[in-house]
């Protein structure tokens, strides 16, 4: 869909964050953020359908099966390479309709009041620059 920012990104990852980590079974795995000015926790990944669909019910059987492997493989990379203690899987899709999921790592010493969906708003969360994301992504690719 021509006015979808996610579809546009898929045409040229370099034009946005430039960090494609894996392409499997109809999905793209990339490192957050979508926009360069968004604060980014190391290992916050996005899993997006290659096709423009907006509902969970629109996934094919193959896409649904591949999603499970990507969640497993993406989260085990975040744990083994970055040492995250817990990984959240979040689907919101309120602002960006193109079906996608976030893998959001929680690191040790995150105060309990910021656990859960609020973790993405914790002001003291770890963050990395776009250049650091590029370096890290070489380790996260699979």
Whether 129 contacts 42, CB under 8 Å: no
Q: Which of 44, 98, 106, 125 binds Zn ion (CB under 5 A)?
A: 98
134 binds Zn ion (CB under 5 A): no
16 binds Zn ion (CB under 5 A): no
Our CB check for Zn ion shows the closer of 6 and 103 to be 6
Q: Name the minimum Å distance from CB 54 to Zn ion.
A: 8
Our CB check for Zn ion shows the closer of 67 and 140 to be 67
> Quick one: which segment of 4-12, 75-83, 109-117, 121-129 binds Zn ion (CB under 5 A)?
4-12
> Quick one: which segment of 12-20, 48-56, 77-85, 124-132 binds Zn ion (CB under 5 A)?
48-56
Which residues lie closer than 8 Å to 32 by C-beta, 6 or more apart?
17, 38, 40, 41, 44, 45, 46, 102
14, two tokens = 């370099």
Whether 17 contacts 33, CB under 8 Å: yes
Q: Name the minimum Å distance from CB 64 to Zn ion.
A: 18
Q: Name the minimum Å distance from CB 41 to Zn ion.
A: 24
Could you tell me which of 121, 99, 97, 25 has the C-alpha nearest to residue 65? Answer: 25
- If DSSP codes are grouped into helix, strand and coil, which group holds residue 29? strand
- If DSSP codes are grouped into helix, strand and coil, which group holds residue 74? helix
């Amino acid at each position: 869909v021509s006015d979808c920012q996610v579809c546009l990104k898929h045409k040229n990852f370099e034009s946005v964050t430039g960090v494609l980590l894996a392409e499997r079974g109809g999905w793209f795995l990339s490192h957050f953020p979508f926009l360069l000015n968004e604060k980014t926790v190391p290992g916050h990944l996005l899993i997006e359908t290659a096709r423009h669909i907006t509902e969970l019910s629109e996934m094919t059987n193959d896409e649904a099966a591949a999603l499970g492997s990507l969640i497993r493989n993406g989260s085990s990379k975040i744990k083994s390479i970055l040492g995250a203690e817990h990984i959240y899987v979040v689907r919101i899709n309120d602002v960006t309709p193109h079906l996608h999921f976030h893998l959001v790592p929680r690191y040790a010493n995150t105060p309990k009041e910021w656990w859960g969906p609020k973790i993405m708003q914790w002001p003291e969360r770890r963050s990395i620059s776009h250049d650091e994301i590029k370096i890290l992504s070489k380790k996260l690719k699979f």
